[in-house]
Every structure is written in C-alpha cells, then in structure tokens.
C-alpha cells in the first residue's frame, strides 16, 4: 500500500522508498527508511501536504511525495 493512501490516524511500517534523486535521498535521510514506523498525524486543510510522525518527530511531505513510499502492516 502507498503511504498516501493512509487515512489520518493510521500507522504503518515503511517497506520501500521509491522515486529517485534528491527527493528519495532526502526522505531516507530524514529517517523514513525501511522498517521505520510511521504515523499519519493529519492532512493539511487542502488535503495536501500530509503531516507524519516518524522517529518521534513531525515531518510533512507532499501527497505526491508520500505516494512514492510503500508501507505494510497498516493499523
């Protein structure tokens, strides 16, 4: 499943970060690596970007960027 398909309040484990170049590298460097737990805190009022909690801090990604991230164990 893609991270961007998760609803507010859902959690999941990162399986794979797709995409390429700077964006992919950046996402990984911010700690969204395989096996990291991720929680969807909320979507912005216009449904984009999305606020996530990972490794104990809050980060926002555009929905388009979040769609590059595959997650499993959605809860």
Partner 1 sequence: MTPKHLTIALAGNPNSGKTTIFNNLTGTRQKVGNWPGVTVEKKEGRINRFGHDLTVVDLPGTYSLTPFSIEEVIARNFLLDETPDVVIVIIDASNLERSLYLATQIRELDCKVLFALNMADLAQARGMKIDARKMSTLLDLPVMFTVGNRNEGMDDLLRAAIDLAESTAPLPRSRRVKYTHDIEEAVARLRDFMLSRTDGNLPYPPRWTAIKLIEDDQIVQERLTAAAPAAGPAILEAGRAERRHLAERYDEDPQIVMTDERYGFIAGIVREVQSAGTRQRVDLSRTIDLVLTHRFFGFPIFVFFIWAMFQLTFTLGEYPVQWIEAGVKLFTKAVGGLLPQGELRGLILDGVIAGVGSVIVFLPNILILFLCIAIFEDTGYMARSAFLMDRIMHLIGLHGKSFIPMLMGFGCNVPAIMAARTLESEKDRILTILITPFMSCSAKLPVYVVLAGAFFGAHAGTVIFGLYLLGIALSILTGRLFRSTLLKGADAPFVMELPPYRMPMAKSLLIHMWDRSKIFLRKMGQVILLGSVIIWALSTFPRDGSLERDYAAEIRQAGAAAEARRTVASDAESREIEEVYAETVAALRRLEKADRTENSLIGRIGRFVEPVFAPLGIDWRGGVALLSGFVAKEIVVSTLGVLHAVGDGEDEGALEKALAEAGMTPLSALSMMVFVLLYLPCLATTAAIRRETGSYRWMFFSIGYSTSVAWVAAFLVYQGGRLLGLA
> Taking CB under 8 A as the rule, which mask of x and - marks residues 38-57 in contact with partner 1?
-x-xx-xxxxxx-x-x-xxx
Is residue 67 involved in binding partner 1 (CB under 8 A)? no
CA distance 46 to 57: 22
CB of 5 to partner 1, least distance (A): 18
CB of 68 to partner 1, least distance (A): 10
For 7, 35, 46, 67, the CA distances from 54, given in Å and listed in that order, are: 16, 11, 22, 16
Residues 6+ apart with CB under 8 A from 37: 11, 12, 13, 14, 54
Question: Which residues of this chain interact with partner 1, rule CB under 8 A?
Answer: 17, 21-31, 33-34, 36-37, 39, 41-42, 44-49, 51, 53, 55-62, 65
């Amino acid at each position: 499943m893609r991270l961007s398909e998760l609803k507010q309040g859902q959690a999941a484990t990162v399986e794979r970060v797709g995409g390429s170049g700077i964006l992919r590298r950046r996402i990984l460097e911010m700690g969204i690596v395989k096996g990291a737990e991720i929680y969807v805190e909320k979507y912005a009022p216009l449904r984009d970007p999305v606020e996530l909690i990972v490794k104990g801090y809050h980060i926002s990604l555009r929905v388009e960027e979040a769609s590059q991230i595959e997650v499993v164990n959605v809860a």
